[in-house]
Amino acid sequence: MQHLITPNDFSNNEILDLFKDARLFGDLQTNSILEGKLIVTLFFENSTRTRSSFEIAAKRLGADVVNLEVQTSSTKKGETVEDTVANLNAMKPDAIIIRHSDCGLPASLVEYVDCPIINAGDGKNAHPTQALLDLFTIYEHFDGKTKGKKIAIVGDISSSRVATSNLELLPRFGLKPILVSPKKYKVSSIYKTTSKLKKIVNKLDIIMSLRVQHERHESNVLPEELEKEKQKYAKKYCITKKLIKDKDILILHPGPVNRNIDISDEILEDKRSKVLQQVANGVCVRMAILKKLILQKK
């Protein structure tokens, strides 16, 4: 049985097949491919897009969805996540989708289940469905000609599972990443890293802007200090018209966007920004993933 824990769980050919299905599902119309199937979602961390995207994808395929409310579940009574998942598994769902702050948790749950586990984000570790929808958005934009395209991933690289999974996936399709961040969010990498976005912007085909994950940084910073820090960050890393001028460039962001800190209002309205296209693509890519994993031969 196949699970989706990191983008490396799918080969390039499997991903290209997935994209064919995603294209067919692109109009986001309802069908009955997964009629009678039951999907459980378990989100231990906040989510707007990913959770609703999975739920809509499942429902568009005719599946039923049970969203376990973790705030009121038995993990609050001391049950381990492993036991919660084993108990849910005993009720014979067809897939379990999980988001949790512990890196590696979804991978460790595989031995407790008889159905596919889909990782919807584990700490800083991985977010495979986001990387797949990002790649799909890039792939469609460049008509499949992704080889050699330069992509700057800009922001809080050190805390971002979106960055981790994209760095695992995009180079497999010939994309050339450059990691752009202030020193405090820098990671050591086999890819070029820099803190100077302005200096490299002219070389780029794509910018993927990321939010600074303040909730992952331990801090007793006062609100005024935090605001000052955000403004300082925005001066160097916010994607603005002044920065990209009339350049032909694709602007991406996984959301949630901090307006005028990550990307300016003006650029969010600009047709080079495909942030909402990413959200739409998220549904059809997740439809393709659910179809693949649930209908696979056991």
Q: Which residues contact 126 (CB under 8 A, 6 or more apart)?
A: 5, 6, 7, 119, 161, 164, 165, 168
Q: Nearer to ligand NCD by C-beta: 84 or 119?
A: 119
Report DSSP state, residue 240: -
Is residue 274 near ligand NCD by the rule CB under 6 A?
A: no
Q: Nearer to ligand NCD by C-beta: 200 or 279?
A: 279
Q: Which of 41, 50, 84, 165 binds ligand NCD (CB under 6 A)?
A: 50
Q: Which of 170, 239, 254, 261 binds ligand NCD (CB under 6 A)?
A: 254
Report which of 15, 292, 252, 10 is spatially closest to residue 155, judged by C-alpha positions: 252
Q: Nearer to ligand NCD by C-beta: 60 or 286?
A: 286
Backbone angles phi, psi at 190, to 5 degrees: -75, -10
Is residue 130 near ligand NCD by the rule CB under 6 A?
A: yes
Is residue 161 near ligand NCD by the rule CB under 6 A?
A: yes
Write the DSSP string, 73-130. SGGGGT--HHHHHHHHHHT--SEEEEEESSTTHHHHHGGG-SS-EEEEEETTTB-HHH
Report how many residues bind ligand NCD under the rule CB under 6 A.
11
Contact assessment for residue 126 and residue 5, using Cβ atoms and an 8 Å cutoff? yes
Smallest distance, ligand NCD to C-beta of residue 51, A: 9
Q: Nearer to ligand NCD by C-beta: 161 or 291?
A: 161
Q: Which of 211, 274, 286, 291 binds ligand NCD (CB under 6 A)?
A: 211
Is residue 255 near ligand NCD by the rule CB under 6 A?
A: yes
Q: How many CB atoms lie within 10 A of CB 200?
A: 14
Kind and range of the H or E element at 150? strand 150-154
Contact assessment for residue 75 and residue 84, using Cβ atoms and an 8 Å cutoff? yes
CA–CA distance, 175 with 186 (Å, rounded to integer): 20
CA–CA distance, 129 with 251 (Å, rounded to integer): 19
Query: 41 by DSSP, 3-state: which?
Result: strand
Q: Nearer to ligand NCD by C-beta: 4 or 162?
A: 162
> Restricting to residues 6-35, which ones interact with ligand NCD according to CB under 6 A?
none
Contact assessment for residue 50 and residue 283, using Cβ atoms and an 8 Å cutoff? no
Q: Nearer to ligand NCD by C-beta: 80 or 219?
A: 219
Is residue 60 near ligand NCD by the rule CB under 6 A?
A: no
> Restricting to residues 99-128, which ones interact with ligand NCD according to CB under 6 A?
121, 127
> Restricting to residues 181-200, which ones interact with ligand NCD according to CB under 6 A?
none
Is residue 291 near ligand NCD by the rule CB under 6 A?
A: no
Is residue 137 near ligand NCD by the rule CB under 6 A?
A: no
Binding site for ligand NCD (CB under 6 A): 49-50, 121, 127, 130, 161-162, 211, 213, 254-255
